[in-house]
A and B are shown apart, each in its own frame.
Chain A
Amino acid sequence: MKTYTGRREYHLTIVTANDRPLNPRLDLWKHSPTGFEWGYGGSGPAQLALALLADHLGDDELTDDLTIAELDLPSGEKVKPDSGFTCVATMNGSPNELLDPALQDRFPVCINIDKVHPEAVKQLPEDVLQAAERTALIDNEERRVSVRAWYAFAHLRQKLLKLYPQEEAQKLAAEAVFSTRAQDALDALVIGQAQAG
Chain B
Amino acid sequence: MTNKCMVYPIPEAVDDKANREWQIQPSQQVTARVYPRQSLLVVPLDNSAQSRMIRNHELGHIRWSPPRPAVMASRNKLDMDVLQAVEDMRINTKLTDIGVDTSSGSISPSVMKAFVDHLLKRGDLRDIILTMVAIIGQGASETVMREKFSEQSPADKAVKIADMAYKIMWDKGAPGFKDTVRTARWLQALLDSAAPTEPNQLPKRLRLSKTDQDHLESLLKMLGGFGTGNRATKKVSWGKMKVEIPPRPRRVDGFLGKGQIASEEGVIPRYGHRLLVDGRVFCKTRRQRGGSVLIDGSGSMNITSEDLKRILSHSPGAVVACYSGNTHDGVLRVLAQDGRQVEEKWIGAPAGGANVIDKPVLDWLSKQAKPRIWVCDGQVTGVGDRMSAINTLECAAVCRQRTIVRRDTVGLAVEMLRTLNRHKRH
Query: Are A and B bound to each other?
Result: yes
B276 within 8 A of A: no
Residue of A nearest to B47 (CB): A180
Contact partner of A187 (CB less than 8 A), chosen from B3, B16, B52, is: B52
A191 in contact with B55 given A134-B13, A184-B9 (CB within 8 Å): no
B170 within 8 A of A: no
A187 in contact with B64 given A142-B8, A143-B24, A180-B4 (CB within 8 Å): no
Chain B residue total in the interface (Cβ 8 A): 35
Contact partner of B60 (CB less than 8 A), chosen from A139, A183, A191, A193, is: A191
Which of the listed residues B16, B24, B63 has the most CB atoms from chain A within 10 Å of its own CB? B63
A146 to B2, CA, bound (A): 12
A194 in contact with B98 given A130-B13, A185-B10, A188-B59 (CB within 8 Å): yes
Complex contact B1–A145 (CB within 8 A) = yes
B7: A residues at CB distance < 8 A? 180-181, 184
Complex contact A135–B2 (CB within 8 A) = no
A72 to chain B, nearest CB (A): 39
Which of the listed residues B2, B64, B174 has the most CB atoms from chain A within 10 Å of its own CB? B2
Residue of A nearest to B65 (CB): A197
B405 within 8 A of A: no
Complex contact A191–B47 (CB within 8 A) = no
Complex contact B95–A144 (CB within 8 A) = no
A171 to chain B, nearest CB (A): 11
A178 to chain B, nearest CB (A): 7
Complex contact A192–B13 (CB within 8 A) = yes
B181 to chain A, nearest CB (A): 13
- CB < 8 Å A-B pair total: 92
Complex contact B100–A131 (CB within 8 A) = no
Residue of A nearest to B63 (CB): A191
Complex contact B14–A188 (CB within 8 A) = yes
Complex contact A179–B2 (CB within 8 A) = yes
A193 to B21, CA, bound (A): 20
A156 within 8 A of B: no
B249 within 8 A of A: no
Within 8 A of B (CB), among A168-192: 178-181, 183-185, 187-192
Complex contact B177–A197 (CB within 8 A) = yes
Complex contact B59–A187 (CB within 8 A) = yes
A179 in contact with B1 given A184-B9, A191-B14, A192-B13 (CB within 8 Å): yes
**Interface 1/0s, chain A 149-171, versus B by CB < 8 A?**
10000000000000000000000
A71 to chain B, nearest CB (A): 36
Contact partner of A190 (CB less than 8 A), chosen from B4, B11, B98, is: B98
Complex contact B2–A191 (CB within 8 A) = no
Complex contact B59–A191 (CB within 8 A) = yes
Known pairs A143-B8, A145-B10, A187-B52 / 8 extra A-B pairs, C-beta < 8 Å:
A130-B12, A142-B2, A146-B1, A184-B7, A184-B10, A184-B52, A187-B56, A187-B101
Closest 9 CB pairs of A and B: A134-B12, A131-B13, A188-B13, A188-B10, A192-B14, A192-B13, A191-B14, A143-B8, A194-B98
23 A-B residue pairs with Cβ-Cβ distance under 8 Å, sorted by A, are: A130-B13, A131-B10, A131-B13, A134-B13, A135-B13, A138-B12, A139-B21, A142-B2, A142-B8, A143-B8, A143-B10, A178-B1, A181-B2, A181-B8, A187-B101, A188-B10, A191-B59, A191-B63, A191-B98, A191-B100, A196-B64, A197-B64, A197-B177
